[in-house]
Amino acid sequence: MTGVVLISASDDLSTLRLAIQALAPELPVYLHGEPAAEQAQVAACWCPAPGSLGAYPRLRLVQSIAAGIDHVLRDGSRPPGVPVCRIVDADHRQGMTEYVLWAVLHHHRRMDQVLANQAEARWVEPGQRSAALCQVGVLGLGALGAHAASALASLGFSVRGWARSVKALPGVRSYAGAAELQPFLDGLDMLICLLPLTEQTRGLLDARVFARLAPGAVLVNCGRGEHLVVPDLLAALDSGRLRGAVLDVFEQEPLPADDPLWQTPGVVITPHMASSASPGSIARQVVENVRRLQAGQPLLNEADPEAGY
């Protein structure tokens, strides 16, 4: 029988194990390192340590337990030709949209200034600006980005979206491909990054990008920490090119206590909490893909490792 091994270098996946067993009591579920786990044909992963996937000679499927697959691709021992799938979850999508809306509204309504004034007991009313005059750009129009962009448009913001290919979303002006990245960026008041991490998007958020935004713009990064060139961000904040940044993802997590980002004025740090799929939702998709694998049917939410998503 097909068994599932749960692999993570950073998280305890015992709760997910219980959720899978509750749905499919007949399905063997192992934690990485358990003696019988080497029999597993499916690996469900979050940030597997290098060499982890190569320990399973019978592997027929690698299932990311997140929306992205970049953390899986870092393990060079992944057997070639084994399909990789990801999680698509409506609650995860809704959670990400809530986070993006909060970050945009926080800065659009100048709550960052309000909180700074409160710390000094200063009663100063910030000006209110129409949402239609606020240019918000969403980098990445996959399931998460498209939902967030549409929600922002429904609130009256002037919304642009950028992706590898043109997307048709009501109320969102679509840009696509490398040739349209600069016109997408020009004059944005807020830039939201929800891109997958690929070799093409690594380090994309740099000084050249910040220079094209409106003076005093705000960056919100919910993609991956590797998208951001941190020294360029610090320089842009110090010069006033950027007014602020909301960062939920980092190249090293947890973010070290001595990292200068903690103490940088204008930066809001959250601990990779923007959104996540529930164990129940992940378990349902893992079990369904096990069923499809056994039946020889197309897999659910199969990704393209060559493209990176």
Q: What are the b/e assignments for 245-260, b being 16+ CB within 10 Å?
A: bbbbbbeeeebeeeee
- Alpha helices by DSSP H, listed for 130-195, are 143-154, 181-185
Tell me the CB-side half-sphere exposure of residue 233, using CA atoms within 13 A. 26
What burial class does residue 290 get, using C-beta atoms within 10 Å of its C-beta: 0-12 exposed, 13-18 middle, 19+ buried? buried
Q: Is 107 a catalytic residue?
A: no
Query: Would you mind telling me the total number of residues written for the chain in this entry?
Result: 309
Q: Is 60 a catalytic residue?
A: no
Distance between CA 52 and CA 39 in Å, rounded?
14
DSSP letters for 210-251: HHHSPTTEEEEE-S-GGGB-HHHHHHHHHHTSEEEEEE---S
Structure token pair of residue 79 = 């057997």
DSSP state, residue 190: E
H and E: helices and strands count for the chain: 9, 12
Please provide residue 242's backbone torsions phi and psi, each rounded to the nearest 5 degrees: -110, 140
Three-state SS at 102: helix
- The residue assigned the tokens 């690698």 is 62
Q: Which of 224, 227, 241, 243 is catalytic?
A: 224
The alpha-carbon radius of gyration of the chain (Å, integer) is: 21
Q: Which of 109, 173, 212, 272 is catalytic?
A: 272
DSSP state, residue 262: G
Task: Tell me which residue of 227, 234, 219 sits closest to 189, measured CA to CA.
Answer: 219
Q: What are the catalytic residues?
A: 224, 272
